[in-house]
Amino acid sequence: MTPIARPYADDSAIDLSGPPDWMEEALSSDERADMALADRNSLRRVAGLTTELTDVTEVEYRQLRLERVVLIGVWTTGTLTDAENSMAELAALASTAGSQVLDALVQRRDRPDPATYIGSGKAKELRGVVSAVGADTVVCDGELTPGQLRQLEDVVKVKVIDRTALILDIFAQHATSAEGKAQVELAQMTYMLPRLRGWGESMSRQAGGRVAGGGGIGTRGPGETKIETDRRRLRSRMAKLRREITAMSLVRETKRQQRNRSSIPAIAIAGYTNAGKSSLLNRLTGAGVLVEDALFATLDPTVRRARLVDGRTVTLTDTVGFVRHLPHQLIEAFRSTLEEVAGADLVLHVVDGSHPDPESQLEAVREVLAEIDAATVPELVVVNKIDVAEPAMRARLRRIEPDAVFVSARTGEGIVELGRRLADVVPHHDVEIEVVVPYTEGGLVARAHRDGEVLRLEHGSGGTRMRLRVGPALAAELAPYAVAVV
């Protein structure tokens, strides 16, 4: 099975009108996006190179060698179309990780085999396919237990990884910030800890006293095996990463509180991976963030300001994309980042209108939103890529989500309608006040325009008279200039 090509690359023919007035950048948004994309592509794996560990006495960290792969899936529920869509998504994940997909197999079973995932007979058939096509890796469309992983590798004689390890590898490739890298490393170690094993007898050999792996004090003394020492080191590293992530999340929380104090409504752009969230952010704000036709192109949240059609200022946050069966290790590790969604005033739920199964994408995203306590945040569904969506699919989505807005971040179609809808659904400020601000307080007037909603504006001899809707904090600052409503 060959991967299903996406209808278009999000970074092609993006016709942005340029950065907003408040953005004074040395580079245009297109140039910044192109530089980020070039930097991302410079880190791609080179075909033919291996990342296997050469020192077999060290712990097998299960670093992936993804050059030529065969996909295998177990179809337990749903239709054959559902199974094929799942395998197509797995192929796209493998391609994003830098591999070449040679073949794909799906087996119909009531449940996965507890020993080898696909059963001993099918495992032998898989071994023949792997040998015939010259693959060096098997990727399973599910999360394997440590026992299934070991026994399937023993049969097929090549490296076996599961969907979770594949997604973790993609996240590791795409993480750029210190927080993102720490979150991915923690998720990888959480996944790896119960699967830790090594080659040959070197990992099971006991050692005691001063020779216990060179550990000395704290290595629990005689009788400890090397694999136990490695597990302890792994747990120690995980504890350190959790402390670092907690410290970095405090910085993010401080920035979020500053935005809350200014009463600027927050909009979180969420959705399935590769649905076009970054393209939509670029179209709305000229942010110039990385746009790539690949899964999980965005890991680090990007926050930008934008002005609604009614003059109000909002923040738009581009978040990490979701996927079916998103590894729970990632959800836990990225919880501090995903809190941007839970703390928003509105979730802009972006759906790929050209995808063959958008319903499953909607369901998968809402499941993750519920897991991070964001299910109660108001939601506006935005169906993207309508320029390449089939008319029948557009009609189908209108039946499923009658209140959705249909747009194309690539061509700009529907963006004006989206702006009007945002002005309607974004919560208004709580306090309505009328003030006369002296001309010497121009900064306060500017803040009122930036952080509030100006209903009426007049310039008189005593200063600027404004009727405003503002948040409580700004209302307190404006209180000395309040006047009776005429």
Distance CA 44, CA 165 (A): 18
State yes or no: pLDDT of 182 exceeds 50.
Answer: yes
Distance CA 62, CA 51 (A): 9
DSSP codes joined into one string, 97-163: TT-EEEEEEEEE-SS-BTTTBS-HHHHHHHHHHHHHHT-SEEEESSPPPHHHHHHHHHHH-SEEEEH
Backbone phi, psi, residue 470, to 5°: -140, 170
Distance CA 275, CA 288 (A): 17
Q: Residue 403, SS3? A: coil
Q: What is the CA radius of gyration of the chain?
A: 27
pLDDT bucket at 252, cuts 50 / 70 / 90: low
Which range, of 34-38, 236-240, 262-266, averages the lowest pLDDT?
34-38
Which positions ≥6 away from 296 have C-beta within 8 Å? 96, 167, 170, 171, 174, 273, 320, 321, 323
At 34 the pLDDT is 56
State yes or no: pLDDT of 456 exceeds 80.
Answer: yes
CB atoms within 10 A of CB 154: 11
- Cα separation values, 327 from 166, 190, 191, 322, Å: 10, 11, 9, 10
Structure tokens at 132: 């015939």
Are 255 and 339 in contact, with CB atoms under 8 Å apart? no
**43-51 average pLDDT score:** 35
Q: Of the segments 36-40, 44-48, 376-380, 428-432, which one has the largest average pLDDT value?
A: 376-380
Backbone phi, psi, residue 144, to 5°: -90, 145
Are 91 and 4 in contact, with CB atoms under 8 Å apart? yes
Distance CA 365, CA 273 (A): 9
Which positions ≥6 away from 153 have C-beta within 8 Å? 159, 160
Distance CA 268, CA 344 (A): 6
CB atoms within 10 A of CB 319: 24
- Residue 39: name the closest of 51, 31, 50 by CA: 31
At 205 the pLDDT is 44
Are 189 and 234 in contact, with CB atoms under 8 Å apart? yes
Structure tokens at 184: 């991915």
- Is this model's pTM higher than 0.75 or not? no
Q: Of the segments 52-66, 358-372, 402-416, which one has the largest average pLDDT value?
A: 402-416
CA atoms within 13 A on the CB side of 392: 2
- Residue 315: name the closest of 271, 274, 342, 284 by CA: 284
Q: What is the pLDDT of residues 94-149, one digit of tens each?
A: 888 888 899 988 888 888 899 999 988 899 999 999 999 999 899 999 888 888 98
Structure tokens at 102: 């040679």
Vertex 119 angle, CA 117 and 122, to 5°: 110
Q: Residue 86, SS3? A: helix
Which residues is 388 bridged to in the sheet?
none
Which residues is 268 bridged to in the sheet?
317, 347
At 59 the pLDDT is 37
State yes or no: pLDDT of 408 exceeds 90.
Answer: yes
Distance CA 478, CA 83 (A): 60
Q: What is the pLDDT of residues 387-407, one digit of tens each?
A: 999 999 999 999 999 999 999
Q: Which amino acid is at 443?
A: G
Q: Which amino acid is at 350?
A: V
Q: Would you report the helix, strand and coil content of the chain in percent, each value rounded to 5?
A: 40, 20, 40
Q: Edge-to-edge strands of the sheet including 431-437?
A: 431-437, 463-470, 453-460
